[in-house]
């Protein structure tokens, strides 16, 4: 099979459980996946570490990264900037790892335009009620920020149809297994295995004589 990694974008409403799923997927399959770490101008939440969840930078530093072409994509989300550093993504794909970008919808669509064979996955909780419960339950945002994020979820819901697969995060274990199967299935897509097909065709031709 062809060895280059797949670029995967995971989006979903804030509070849908993307972070939780990513953590679990990476701990189960550490050699298969690489999670891109974004740069952001938002402040760290309690427990977040610079260089682990995000590279936390000032607006000035962020603008310099844009100017130098160091970001594959970037977007503004509820008053803050978020962007994907280019170097890490390219390096890991070349090493044959599947690289996951956990980014919002504008960024996702930009990535798809630049790299059309990107796999787009959208994570959603089983219901809107459950989304609100999880956002409140996480306890990391004020009610004002939660309201903005619920409003943003309304806008993002309009873009769900652009994604290749919906991942319903109801039972976490089932959800992680399902995401892994979808990605591994994607490796078998014929268009991702041109090298293999060419080789077997040539071998078959040779064996005719």
Does the protein bind ligand 5GP through residue 103 (CB under 6 A)? Answer: yes
18 labelled as ligand-binding?
Answer: yes
Distance, in Å, from the CA atom of 112 to the CA atom of 187, rounded to the nearest integer, reads: 17
CA distance 207 to 193: 21
Q: Tally Cβ neighbours within 10 Å of residue 41.
A: 19
Judged by CB under 6 A, which of 75, 128, 150, 168 binds ligand 5GP? Answer: 75
Alpha-carbon 202 to chain mean position: 37
Whole-angstrom distance, CA of residue 157 vs CA of residue 114? 23
Question: What SS3 state is found at 28?
Answer: helix
User: What residues from 121 to 160 belong to the interface with ligand ADP (CB under 6 A)?
Assistant: 134, 137-138
Give the per-residue contact string, 11-50, with ligand ADP (x = CB under 6 A; - = no): -x-xxxxxxx------------------------------
Does 112 interact with ligand ADP (rule: CB under 6 A)?
no
Between 6 and 36, whose beta carbon lies closer to ligand 5GP? 36
Sign of the C-alpha dihedral computed for residues 45, 50, 55 and 58 taken in this order: positive
The residue ranges that bind ligand 5GP (CB under 6 A) are 14, 38, 42, 73-75, 77, 82-84, 102-104, 106-107
Residues of this chain that interact with ligand ADP (CB under 6 A) are 12, 14-20, 134, 137-138, 169, 172
């Amino acid at each position: 099979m062809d060895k280059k990694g797949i670029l995967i974008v995971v989006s979903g409403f804030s509070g849908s459980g993307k972070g939780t799923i990513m953590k679990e997927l990476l701990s189960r399959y550490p050699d298969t996946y690489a999670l891109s770490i974004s740069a952001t101008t938002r402040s760290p939440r309690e427990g977040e570490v610079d260089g682990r969840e995000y590279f936390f930078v000032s607006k000035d530093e962020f603008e310099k990264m844009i100017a130098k072409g160091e970001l594959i994509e970037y977007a503004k989300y509820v008053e803050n900037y978020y962007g994907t550093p280019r170097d890490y993504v390219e390096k890991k794909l070349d090493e044959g790892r599947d690289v996951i970008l956990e980014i919002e919808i504008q960024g996702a669509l930009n990535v798809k335009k630049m790299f059309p064979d990107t796999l787009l996955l959208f994570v959603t909780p089983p219901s809107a009620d459950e989304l609100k419960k999880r956002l409140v339950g996480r306890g990391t945002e004020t009610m004002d920020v939660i309201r903005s994020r619920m409003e943003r979820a309304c806008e993002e819901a309009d873009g769900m149809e652009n994604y290749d697969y919906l991942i319903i995060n109801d039972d976490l274990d089932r959800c992680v297994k399902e995401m892994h199967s979808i990605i591994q299935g994607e490796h078998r897509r014929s268009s991702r295995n041109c090298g293999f097909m060419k080789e077997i065709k040539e071998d078959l031709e040779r064996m005719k004589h």
